[in-house]
Chain A
């Protein structure tokens, strides 16, 4: 097994080197044709072929279930990592399954809504990455802060947002979580400390550092998780935020959702170093299998303990994958092969993994799970229909909240004399 794995690695390395050196020739590169098919070899810690993927679990007499985390954690500047075994129970497992399935169904419904032009603008879908959101919620509470980039639907739902609010916001309706003024990239949940939803790449680390400082100053036993993607790993403000957080010992977890592609650019084309958890020599890091909700949960637990013990920031890299393209205008298959995407679905799908455990431990039958799926689908469809019926925000919202409502503030339109709106 090991021998064949290293052979695979060698072959893969040779192939990718060949790809790098030869000019990319593709028979499809005709004028105007968007597609250049580049078959990449993945450089995961968990390859997606020939790997044993049936998770091992063991139920004890008390009804608790020990689930093995197959992929080893990679550590940087850390003495020890989380346990490779996590303990859970039927209730938790069913909740995890349900939460991930809701995210999955919501994203698929959003896909259809976008294609039927009920959602306009931009839509960046999260399916495939559910384990990161749900795993995060296993370790962090609603008193911890979470801030993320534009691929935020899954995080929003994980933070307790409802599907109805999500769809309303996507469609720009008044019932959305941001009153319809933010759209897909700008989802928020005030009570549960979800600070958004940010469109500019690389903006979340310094913002997260600020949030973390606030928590530390108020002596709260809480942390901030600032999430960004591999594409943001080369933005200048990330380095600035890392130094700030380390210098001031902030309780900041820098979370990289590494789905290996920044839009259509594979990580090895944009980055000298393709891993992120070990980039900084003065901030410890941990890399985890981002498709395994338990691994993510354990990693987050370790990170939270690390921060709250006053040791400063820590980096958490989640090795994950998105099934859809970057956004709805990206088919997602011009820079990765369909085999690769299919392989991910078959071998590393986060929901399938949990389903297998549930079935293996006989916590529910196949039919029961199917019924649950159907019920979730029904609820998501209902939420979508309800959101479609909802109203758009009124005209007064155009001028609302540019500033905090100062009485007497005048917002001007074109040609000040003829169009003014007085804020009350």
Chain B
């Protein structure tokens, strides 16, 4: 194994097997053949992981996801989409017209039983099928947590590769939506990032969603795919009409910069982009990275970026304590310690249950991000009062 993990700041340019991000993966994740993984450094502008010029359509996120599902069901006769209310199109319209085209035996409703939905999906996937299970809201995924953690993540490992449920993809809308309250707004990605054996993927836009979903479904490991529900209708962009995948475990630099690195995923990136625009007026050049896959995450790219800028800020909607930002912070502090000019910052949701009327106070808003960006740059202290809003 290439022990590239322990060289501060140095990035090995050797191509390596596409294993998971730990030196001793030993069969936890299966190499994904056919996916090119380039060693991107922050120095190189990341160009088209998007395919070369294709015919595109201007569509929103749920339509992009819908297209991806159509593509999968079209190309693989042993793929199935199931979940609560998916038959008529789903509460977010992501599964529109699938049942009409592919039939009730491949696109079907389940009763209201999340634990059984995922368990059933694991069984179906173990038979060599692509089981695409939908959990209606990520807030309701917890009954299924046992199946995901104890069964899906460990099947291949504990059977010595005799069996696996790599064909399983669990899709769930996550994140704040403005008025969701306690049980329609949660971001539970951190719970899943703690489980070796599954992958957690979160897209930020329609074109990303289509490519990443296709990659997730075709990845030979079980994947939990969180879709930012706020962006289902709100995010509209040109999305290639054909079949394309985006690589997993590969972060993307959204904008280059030299003063501070920002890392985020999902809907939060839009907020962070606004914050970057704001502080750029003060002359702070920000490098914005979309992590895309949370586990296994692209440590190299983030390390390269922090080695360039010397500062890191992570932002996510989930509460700050124990959120995935903590893992990134600890890891980068370990690997880039001598290069860091300031401690790693996390601008995240508050440590409260997701509130009802207090949502604007809870959320990591643009102002909070830009305040911290500024303070990181100038190393000055900001009071709580000026933080809110």
Contacts and interface: CB of A to CB of B under 8 A. Distances in A.
B183 A180 contact: no
A393 B96 CA distance: 41
B352 A421 contact: no
B26 interface: no
B384 interface: yes
A91 B5 CA distance: 80
Interface in B172-221: 179-184
A36 B375 CA distance: 54
A402 B358 contact: no
A263 B110 CA distance: 13
A172 B357 contact: yes
A36 B87 CA distance: 11
Nearest to B321: A412
A181 B355 contact: yes
Nearest to B387: A419
B112 A415 contact: no
A408 interface: no
A411 B320 CA distance: 10
Interface stretch (A198-206, A247-255, A289-297): A198-206
B372 A415 contact: yes
A172 B116 CA distance: 35
A270 interface: yes
Interface stretch (B127-135, B161-169, B360-368): B360-368
Interface in A246-286: 262-265, 269-271
B179 A121 contact: yes
A411 B109 contact: no
A122 B181 contact: yes
Interface stretch (B224-232, B239-247, B333-341, B343-351): B343-351
Interface string B73-86: 00000000000110
Contacts of A120: 179
B183 A199 contact: yes
Given A31-B96, A200-B183, A414-B364, A270 B109 contact: yes
A121 B176 CA distance: 12
Nearest to B372: A415
Contacts of A271: 111
Nearest to B184: A122
Contact of B387 (A122, A263, A414): A414
A418 B381 contact: yes
Contacts, number: 121
A182 interface: yes
A365 interface: no
A1 interface: no
B88 interface: yes
Contacts of A419: 384, 387
A172 B357 CA distance: 6
Contacts of B371: 418
Contacts of B116: 236
B187 to A, nearest CB: 14
Contacts of A34: 89
A183 interface: yes
Nearest to A414: B347
Contacts of A234: 111-113
Contacts of B375: 418
B357 A393 contact: yes
B65 to A, nearest CB: 15
B104 interface: yes
Contacts of B19: none
Contacts of B235: none
Nearest to A397: B358
B356 A201 contact: no
A420 B384 contact: yes
A418 B358 contact: no
B27 interface: no
B320 A236 contact: no
| A contact residues, range | 35 or more
B387 A418 contact: yes
A274 B179 CA distance: 34
Contacts of B181: 121-122, 183, 185
B384 A421 contact: yes
A29 interface: yes
B17 interface: no
A172 B384 contact: no
A236 B387 contact: no
B31 interface: no
A392 interface: yes
Contacts of B113: 234-236
A194 to B, nearest CB: 19
B356 A182 contact: yes
A110 to B, nearest CB: 16
B109 A31 contact: no
A399 interface: yes
Interface string B103-141: 010000101110110000000000000000000000110
Nearest to B313: A415
Contact of B351 (A264, A395, A402): A402
A415 B111 contact: no
B143 interface: yes
B138 to A, nearest CB: 13
Contacts of B112: 201-202, 231-232, 234-235, 262, 265, 270
B15 interface: no
Given A121-B179, A421-B384, A399 B352 contact: yes
Contacts of B352: 398-399, 402, 411
B7 interface: no
A372 B364 CA distance: 51
B351 A418 contact: no
Contacts of B179: 120-121
B8 to A, nearest CB: 25
Given A36-B88, A235-B112, A270-B112, A413 B384 contact: yes
Contact of A236 (B115, B350, B382): B115
Closest 4 CB pairs of A and B: A172-B357, A414-B347, A270-B111, A199-B183
Given A234-B113, A265-B109, 14 more contacts: A181-B355, A183-B181, A186-B182, A264-B88, A270-B112, A395-B361, A398-B352, A398-B361, A399-B350, A399-B352, A402-B351, A413-B384, A414-B350, A418-B387
18 contacts: A23-B104, A32-B93, A200-B139, A202-B112, A235-B112, A235-B113, A236-B113, A236-B116, A262-B112, A265-B109, A270-B109, A402-B351, A414-B315, A414-B347, A414-B349, A418-B371, A418-B382, A420-B384
Interface of B: 84-85, 88-89, 93, 96-97, 100, 104, 109, 111-113, 115-116, 139-140, 143, 179-184, 315, 320-321, 345-353, 355-358, 361-362, 364, 368, 371-372, 375, 381-384, 387
